[in-house]
């Protein structure tokens, strides 16, 4: 995604070639220079796509992806609700991740984590702040790892743990959110937002 | 903002990451407005350096067309499904 043009750039990557295949126009984003929070995501089949920018209105997009042509289609817009509780923590979106089965979108806000059920556009709150407002680190970025679990990082990237969703296909409490359940075992080493590894 | 690692084969990987150009960084970082205006790829061979790996190729990707590159995600294209 390119912030200034509102376009997705689709590259073809092979063993010996990387080439720009085509571009796809998106609905206008709010331009936010130096505001780098946001994510794009595919489901496990690669046939569903979702993307978000850190826009205070809570807006995100999702649609279908044709793996053969690289074309996005049926792009829809949704708006995540504000935090359902009283807290001083910023509620802007900091990440997004599709469930492996492509039926749920995890909308990660600094203050809490939402599930968006695509079939009926319903939001579920998976987790709010995991401690007091002052001590809470904030959530940022999420990705499904090769073990099938969804890992969620911390906002300012300097902590030694991540939260884990054991069953990201499960609705609401069935997803089994586990607060800070991935912990760095050493005395050094910080777990920030992570690089996406395509496991194929 | 995201980076991506893609396997080339069992020993080599591509790493894609957005970066600011030097001119953009020097002009805008102090006031907090430096954006990522280049997308680079690095080809890494994990057999080198006794298994620690080495960057064997790196280059900006279509930089002139990708100002303010921002988020990336990798999809899988299946040659058999697509009939190639």
Tell me, what's the pLDDT at A196?
A: 52
A2 touches chain B (CB under 8 A): yes
Mean per-residue pLDDT over chain A, rounded: 81
Confidence of residue A104 (pLDDT cuts 50, 70, 90): very high
**Cβ contacts (< 8 Å) between B9 and chain A: which residues?**
15
Tell me, what's the pLDDT at B46?
A: 95
Per the model's pLDDT, the better-predicted residue between A41 and A190 turns out to be A41
- The interface residues of chain A toward chain B in range 157-196, judged by CB-CB distance below 8 A, are 195-196
Tell me, what's the pLDDT at B81?
A: 62
- pLDDT at residue A195 greater than cutoff 90: no
In Å, how far are A8, A12, A15, A19, B66 from A23, measured between CA atoms? 6, 12, 22, 12, 11
**With pLDDT > 70 as the criterion, what percentage of chain A qualifies?**
79
CB B16 within 8 A of CB B61: yes
Which of B15, B34, B72 is facing A34, going by the closest CB pair?
Answer: B34
Closest approach of B63 to chain A, Cα-based (Å):
11
Site from B35, B71, B84 to mutate, A interface, most A CB atoms within 10 angstroms: B71
B77 touches chain A (CB under 8 A): yes
Tell me, what's the pLDDT at A198?
A: 47
- pLDDT at residue A199 greater than cutoff 50: no
Tens digit of each residue's pLDDT (9 = 90 or more) over A131-181: 787 788 888 888 898 899 999 988 866 667 889 999 999 999 999 999 888
* Segment B4-29 mean pLDDT: 85
* Segment B60-84 mean pLDDT: 60
A146 touches chain B (CB under 8 A): no
Greatest Cα-to-Cα distance within chain B, rounded to the nearest angstrom: 51
Contact B33 A36 (CB under 8 A): no
Q: How far apart are the C-alpha atoms of B25 and A189, rounded to whole Å? A: 27
Q: How many CB atoms lie within 10 A of CB A188?
A: 6
- pLDDT at residue A109 greater than cutoff 70: yes
Mean per-residue pLDDT over chain B, rounded: 78
């Amino acid at each position: 995604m390119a912030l200034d043009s509102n376009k997705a750039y689709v590259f073809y990557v092979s063993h010996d070639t990387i080439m720009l295949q085509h571009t796809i126009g998106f609905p206008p984003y709010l331009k936010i220079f130096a505001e780098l929070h946001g994510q794009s995501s595919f489901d496990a089949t690669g046939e569903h796509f979702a993307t978000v920018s850190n826009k205070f209105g809570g807006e995100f997009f999702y649609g279908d992806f044709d793996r053969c042509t690289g074309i996005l289609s049926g792009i829809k817009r949704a708006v995540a609700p504000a935090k359902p509780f009283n807290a001083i923590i910023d509620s802007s979106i900091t990440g997004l991740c599709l469930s492996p089965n492509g039926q749920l979108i995890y909308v990660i806000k600094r203050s809490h984590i939402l599930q968006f059920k695509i079939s009926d556009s319903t939001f579920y709150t998976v987790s709010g702040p995991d401690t007091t407002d002052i001590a809470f680190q904030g959530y940022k970025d999420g990705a499904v790892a090769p073990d099938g679990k969804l890992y969620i990082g911390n906002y300012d990237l300097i902590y030694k743990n991540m939260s884990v969703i054991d069953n990201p296909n499960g609705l609401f409490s069935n997803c089994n959110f586990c607060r800070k359940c991935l912990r760095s075992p050493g005395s050094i080493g910080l777990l920030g937002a992570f690089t996406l590894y395509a496991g194929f | 903002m995201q980076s991506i690692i893609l396997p080339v084969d069992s020993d080599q990987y591509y790493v894609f990451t957005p970066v600011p150009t030097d001119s953009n960084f020097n002009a805008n970082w102090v006031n907090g407005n430096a954006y990522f205006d280049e997308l680079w790829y690095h080809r890494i061979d994990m057999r080198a350096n006794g298994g620690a790996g080495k960057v064997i190729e790196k280059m900006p990707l279509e930089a002139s067309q990708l100002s303010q590159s921002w988020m990336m995600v990798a999809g899988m294209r299946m040659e058999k499904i697509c009939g190639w």
